[in-house]
Amino acid sequence: FGLGSGVIVLSSYQAAILGMGLVSTAYLAEIYRGGFLALSKGQREASAALGMSRLDTLRYILAPQVLRVSVPPMATFLVSLLKDTTVASTIGVRDVMMYASQQAQGGGGSFAPFIFAALLY
């Protein structure tokens, strides 16, 4: 959201979605990686002994087990993400305070725009 003037122009909503999406992607990737590390190597070896392809091994043997192991940490992360969306309000605070500051400067430096912004919050 603050990458510079005109380089990349994002609305506050777009910046919040992009930021939360990138953070969520990283955390969920680590959750899935941990799920795969929790599985024993014997699962892959058994599927190779049965002559299954790597895609079938992933689809029918590994993925269901990883999903079962990963659901509790994913639920915990999603609750945490819901709480962390308040960070996105920081972008909104900047916008409202910027408009209040512009109105105060245009109106002779009165505190009325800031009082209205405080009431809005």
Residue 102 and residue 96: Cα distance in Å, rounded? 10
Report if pTM > 0.85: no
Averaged pLDDT score across all residues of the chain: 84
Which carries the bigger pLDDT value, residue 73 or residue 8? Answer: 73
The residue extents of the domains of the chain are 12-86
User: What is the pLDDT at residue 15?
Assistant: 80
pLDDT tens for each residue of 44-91: 999 999 999 999 999 999 999 999 999 999 999 988 887 777 777 676
In contact, 91 and 15? CB cutoff 8 Å: yes
Tokens standing for residue 119: 């009431």
Confidence of residue 4 (pLDDT cuts 50, 70, 90): low
The string over 65-79, giving b where at least 16 C-beta atoms fall within 10 Å of a residue's C-beta and e elsewhere, is ebeebbeebeeebee
Residue 63, token pair as written in the block: 């993925």
Q: Residue 118: what pLDDT?
A: 80
Q: In angstroms, rounded to a whole number, what is the distance separating the alpha carbons of residues 35 and 121?
A: 41
pLDDT at 1: 54
